[in-house]
Every structure is written in structure tokens, then in C-alpha cells.
Amino acid sequence: MSDTYDIDLSDDHEGEPLGPLSLPLDDWHRARGGRMVDFAGYWMPVQFEGIIAEHLWTRTSAGFFDVSHMGQLYVSGEGVEAALEAVLPIDLATLPVGGVRYSLLLNDQGGILDDLMVTRWSTGFYLVVNGATKWDDIAHLREFLPDEVTLNHLEDSALFALQGPKAAEALEGLISGEQSLSSLSFMRGAAFKLGEIEAWISRSGYTGEDGFEISVPAENAAEIADLVCAQPQVKPIGLGARDSLRLEAGLPLYGHDMTDSVDPVSADLLFGINKRRRTEGGFPGADTILPLITNGAPTRRVGLLIEGRMAAREGAMVLLGDTEIGTVTSGGFSPSLERPIAMAFVATEHAAPGTSLSIDVRGRKLAATVAPMPFVPHCYYRKGAA
Amino acid sequence: MTRYFTKDHEWIAVEGSEATVGITHYAQSQLGDITFVEVPAIHATVGKGDSASVVDSVKAASDVYAPVSGTVTAVNAALEDQPELVNSEAEGEGWLWKMTLSDPAELAGLMDEAAYQTFVAEL
């Protein structure tokens, strides 16, 4: 057998002379049979019992993910709000304390340097950025934020996600705080005690399920992981299922479905540019992006449902008849739908749901249909709607 | 019947000039959940080391190389509906194809079970 054609779990990380680094739960994962791979410069578990089983467990119960490779940043100081609005297309005036919002770090050409989550804390802003890009992000932010604004890299914090329909039930009995877990709706966060440990918990995630992202001191990481995984609803889940879950949820992966040469309109990430900023501009790349918002972009990120069982993966050519009209950026087998699915960038005129296309996989043409995303419905917890 | 192994983690069980080919238990454990198997065409001629089949797992697609040269005589039709047989029965019911050998002398370059187990233990 060959080495794999592609294993798009490995993010690009150039110029790192050292081998992978270990995260706080390294021993914990190994002791539970996690198969460790080098991901974004860290040893991380790609799977425990198997990707399909872990995926389906998360969709029906609750999965515990270690995402401590991600960058946790804290930005504060005089004028922090205006300073962040100068580097991000976000509207902070509409973000309350405890509110979480998806945003984009853009270059001057309108390309996406990273996607991130921004939370307003009472004293400043808490940012979570991708692991593979965090060093570049920090350098970029330090360059463009004024001297009065301080950026702290919270390297002493671990980050976990607990995702799935039983995530709230599993976490409920473990936490105490000024507010109840049920008062926390999607994209809101608050400080809690998890066991005896101070934790910042937000109702957010990367699977399409209800769930939480949990920041705790790194020194308590194993204790928290033990506590959460002792709940009967919870099993540890590796990066493999994290990838298949986010693909089904239609959520793009940085470095694959968006890069520094892809704009947010093509990437279908306009929700990362808040309404006021779409008219006012004043963020990096606005000169390129605002006309694209008005006039449309020539290519668009779409979902593809693929006939048969053979998966199409990153780099595969998308065809209309014999004409190349796009490229697959993520693809794989959907454990929930039991069929291959993919994300691709295609010419906008062929991006309408229902359009019949094909994908060239090793010389074989697979029939594919443009499908709305998410492929599997989101099940977010929205107070009042729940 | 004699079973041989390659360093690319294929097995080949030979009886006279007929053989059955699959991937090893170790290979399936490394690939994880197998979701699709592309088998060769019956009557296809394969050369030693040619990519004859592709095994798709949730993670990635991997080539399966012909351990020796010959002609494909049968493929495992059960894999069409149950590709997971390659996970559960890699060295049995999860076989990929059968072939006739055009040059049995090529078998001399392969490992026996003991040698393969030693090889895997050192990976």
C-alpha cells in the first residue's frame, strides 16, 4: 500500500525546525489509546476507537475534543475597540459582554489570513485563532495594533470542546456560577467553576451540534478532562472526527477552504463581516471586498453531494461536462449520511444548488450535485427557540 | 497454500499459480474505517508494484500495489456493499482480488509471516 494521497489533517506549518510539541493532555491522550499525529506543530490524537464511531457518538451523545493547539489571545488597553475594528471587519458596538462572534483576519488584498472567534470580556477581548496560523496572527496583530493596546498570548490555558446533543446534560452537574448553563445560548459565554477550577465556557463549537468550548488553566487540564470524560455521555474524540463533523456542518477549515488568496465573498463567509462594516468599510481589504459584496465574486464555495462510495478530496478537479470549473477544497466520507461529500470552489454561474457536476478522482469521473450546506442540519441552542 | 507479505503491507496467499491478495491487519489498523474499495478489472494485467486497487478510508485514499505480476481472475464483490470487511477481516473475507502469477519467481523477494511481523514490530 502507498502512503496516503492526502491526509488533510496536517495543516501547513513551514519553517519549524523542531519536531512537534506536546500539549497539556499529551499523556492523557496516549493513556486512552489516542493515535497521535503531528498537527499544526503539536502531537494530537487523530482517533481513539475509530473516526466513524467517534463521529456518530458526537452526533448522538457528547464528544470531548482537546483543541489546546489553538491560539487563545487576550487584547486589552485604551482604544482596544477601535483598534480591533481597524484590523477586523467586526462591529463591536453590537457585541455585549459575554457575546461571541465569528470574524476574519484579512490582508490588504482581501485575502483571509485566518478565521477567529472574538468574545467581549468585561475588560477586553478574548480571541481564539487557529493553531497552524497563531504565530503569524500574533505577529500580524502586534504589527497593526497601536502601542496602547496589549496582546497577551494565553499560553498557560488549555482549550477543550464538548459537543453533541448531550453536552449540556453532561456538563450541567459539573459547573457552578452566577448563571445557569441553560441561560447560555449559542454564541454566548460566561465564567463558571468547573469542579473547583475557574473556566471560561462559551456555547459554541465546530461540529454543528449544541456544545461548549471550555478554557481552563493548562495545569488543570488533565483533571478537567478526567472530570468531563467520567460522565457517561462523554467520550474523547480525535481530530479525524472533528474534521468529518465540521465538513458535514458546512464549516470551512482554514488552509483548505479558505486561504490568504481567497476573499470572504467567494468563501461564502460574509457573515464574518458585520452589517455596519459592509457599508462603512475601514477594514483591511475593504477596497477589494466591498465591490465583491455588491457585484458578486467569480467563484463560490459550495457543497457537493457525490454519487457512489468513492470520496473526492482536496485538489480534485470539478467539471461541467469536460470543462474544469472548480476545485475540491475538502472532501471525505460523511458518516452521518453514509456517502461522500465535499466542499469546492466553483465558478459562480454553476454554484446553484441542484447543479449537476462531476469530479475527476484519479481519472474517474464521479457524479456530484451542488447541495446547500450544512449537509447535516445545525442543532444550536438558541434560548427562546429551544 | 503459502502466504507472503510485502513491505507495503499487502499479503498474497499462493496455491500453485493462483493467488489471493489483500492488505494486512496492520495496514487496515493504520488506515482506520474503510469506506470504499476500488478493485481492479477482471482480466486486467498487473505488473509487480503496479497500483492495482485503491482503499479509501475516512482519512485518505491509499494505493494497493500488486505484490507480483499476473492477471486478475476475480475480485471480491462483497466489498462493494461491505468495504468494512477489510477492517474486520483484512487477511480473510476482506481479500481484494485473485490473480494468476506470470512469474512465480517474484515471490522470492517477499517476506514470510514471521519476517513481516518482525518488520511491523520495528515500525
Task: Return the residue matching grid coordinates 499459480.
Answer: B17
**C-alpha neighbours within 13 Å on the C-beta side of residue A180:** 7
Gap between the Cα atoms of A67 and A65, Å rounded: 6
Express each pLDDT in A185-223 by its tens digit: 999 999 999 999 999 999 999 999 999 999 999 999 999
The stretch A340-366 carries a mean pLDDT of 97
**Cα A189 → chain centroid:** 17
Task: Return the residue matching grid coordinates 457512489.
Answer: A308
Domain B2-102 has CATH 3.20.20.140: no
Gap between the Cα atoms of A319 and A364, Å rounded: 12
Express each pLDDT in A280-309 by its tens digit: 999 999 999 999 999 999 999 999 999 999
Report strand pairing: A234-236 vs A62-66: parallel
Q: Which residues of B touch A362 (CB under 8 A)?
A: 54, 61
Task: Return the residue matching grid coordinates 496572527.
Answer: A137
The stretch B60-64 carries a mean pLDDT of 93
Burial readout A34-43 (b: 16 or more C-beta within 10 A, e: otherwise):
bbbbbbbbbb
Q: Which residues of B touch A54 (CB under 8 A)?
A: none
CB contact under 8 A, A47 and B9: no
Domain boundaries, chain B: 2-102
Q: Which residues of B touch A333 (CB under 8 A)?
A: 33, 35-36, 56, 58
State residue A17's pLDDT score. Answer: 56
Gap between the Cα atoms of B26 and B39, Å rounded: 20
Let me know: does A341 contact A331? Beta carbons within 8 Å.
yes
The percentage of chain B sitting over the pLDDT mark of 90, rounded to a whole number, equals 96
Nearest Cα residue in chain B from A310: B36
Nearest Cα residue in chain B from A4: B62
State residue A10's pLDDT score. Answer: 43
CB contact under 8 A, B65 and A2: yes
Cβ neighbour number for residue A203 with a 10 Å cutoff: 24
Quick one: which of A62, A89, A76 has its CA closest to A205?
Answer: A62
Let me know: does A249 contact A334? Beta carbons within 8 Å.
no
Contacting B residues, span 84-123, partner chain A, CB-CB under 8 Å: none
State residue A2's pLDDT score. Answer: 60
pLDDT of B83 strictly over 70: yes
CB contact under 8 A, B32 and A9: no
pLDDT of A14 strictly over 60: no
Report strand pairing: A35-39 vs A71-77: unpaired
Let me know: does A251 contact A206? Beta carbons within 8 Å.
yes
Judged by a CB distance cut-off of 8 A, whether residue B50 touches chain A is: no
CB contact under 8 A, A1 and B55: yes
User: What domains lie within chain A, and their CATH numbers?
Assistant: 26-67+156-248 (3.30.1360.120), 298-386 (2.40.30.110)
B35's enclosing H/E stretch is strand B34-38
- List A368's β-bridge partners, or say none: A306, A357
pLDDT grade, residue B8 (50/70/90)?
A: very high
pLDDT of A9 strictly over 50: no
Cβ neighbour number for residue B7 with a 10 Å cutoff: 13
Quick one: which of A333, A19, A29 has its CA closest to B57?
Answer: A333
Select from A1, A3, A35, A57 the residue whose CB has the most chain B CBs within 10 Å, as the one to mutate to test that interface: A1
